[in-house]
Chain A
Amino acid sequence: MTRKQRRFALIAGSLAVLAAAVGLVLYALNDSIVFFHSPTELVEKNIRPGTRLRIGGLVAPGTVVKGKNLAVRFEVTDGNKAVEVNYSGVLPDLFREGQGVVAEGVLERPGLFRADSVLAKHDERYMPREVADALKKQGHWKTDYANKPQAPTATNASAGATH
């Protein structure tokens, strides 16, 4: 093989692998990304039931109802609209009324969300960024959520059957 042929083989091979990778990435992005919506956006954007998505906001005070077999029901609100969430499993350590939460799952019908994983902040000084943005949009952002920006670690613990 001459140098030219060798280089051609190398470039052709690399391009083939890259093309395959781009194909995989596009296919996967089409198929496996999950959008985040606030309760208000769920209504405004008319999200169809059955789509997999993440919702987030504050756990509305006084709405957490625990049932049998670790079933739990609560409302997530962004101050404007609220959506009811059904979940069955272990809630994260810092899941509390009035605190920020992100849930991933499927919208069963408008206003009812079935979550298969619930993420809550793992530090009392930290708010999930999406939740903070959603609250800001609705004008319900309180500055004390962010008064200590240098919180050391804010680990969102996820609970439930993510895998």
Chain B
Amino acid sequence: MPARNHKQWTSPPPLKAGEWVDSRIYSDPDIFEEEQEKIFKKVWIPVCHESELPEPYDFRTISIAREPIIVVRGSDNEVRAFLNVCPHRGMMIERRPSGSFAPAQPSGNPKHMTCMFHAWQFDMKGNCTYISREEEGYQDRLKKEDVGLRRLRCEVKFGGFIWVTLNDQIDQSVEEWAAGSFECIRGAIDTEPLQVFHYHKAIISCNYKLWHDTNSEFYHDYMHYHNRVTGFNDEYFARKNVTFSNGHVNVNSFEVNYDQYEGFESRAELSFPTFPPNQWYMIDMFPGMNFNLRGSALRCDIMTPLGPNKVMIEFRGLGLKSDSPEDRKARIEHHNSIWGPFGRNLHEDLIGVTGQGSTMQTGSEPRRILHGRHEDNLIHDEVGLRHFYEEWGKWMDRMPSDPMKKYMAAAE
């Protein structure tokens, strides 16, 4: 077909409902705000890994849906999560990304979380243990027992990741929320402890869902020279996409021929426990987390949406805690060669979504984004995208293909 005029360009494609989405879901500020309330404040989010706070009194700070969160390891070795907000005047209690509460702070005692502003102190279970000049100021009207921190539900699950939810009423455990999507790599990540060896972040001008889309479809392997030469054989094209409840997806494995890329080597000798040599599984979890095991290194992407056209992606790489220095070095090289900030593939993926973000800014003309490839659920089938947006529609009560219509009404 020749280039189209405006009417043709904006006409529905010859595909069925559910096989495209309206680009406003990637750019509309109201939809973005609604997603924070209806999705990100309701679900389990993996926020960091237990190896990032290995000792009692270690902490990490993060945020979900703009809410600041602190994760701490108690003297009982339990990991707990709280809002990182002082109940007094709303100051952020801890401002550093990580550290230890074991030493004293300028405003407070050792082994306590101290709000520097007025020196209120809290223990690792979130109890308020000290209010400066408590009786003088509050007499018997307000006591320490009244001003504990806001605790958050928290689980350590699936290879030692720390999962937190802002939703006290969530009716599923992390296990139930994952709905079986981790079974493909469970033996590999739960046989022995893992350790994070890589962390970097990207803030990209695109909607968070565009990054998740890229992680959920492999048709974009045409963009990656590395993946074309190390894959693109019969076994690659036979990889299955498998869908799970709650919007999660697996991309099943095949044997990657790493040595087909000049200078790269097989990763067979460093496969994770129980994991066949050079295999590669991917788990895409609703609403925007990704676990990606390429035999010798595990990658995890955690997204923090910052605006309709802005997302922070935290990239972690993990190996086995028991790694020898030589094995760790090799794992890191394997990880970096493809997924590091100077690696072959990640840069290309991020260029891809930046290009999408540039055409889908707030106020851009609504466009149809096609998710209509059907190939028996095989690797270039876009079933992963369709499955995600089916779930998104339910949570948002909006039709992905026409987000100003209610989900059910539009489905009729």
| Interaction A to B | no
Residues of B that sit less than 8 Å from A by CB: none
Q: Enumerate chain A interface residues (CB-CB to B < 8 A).
A: none
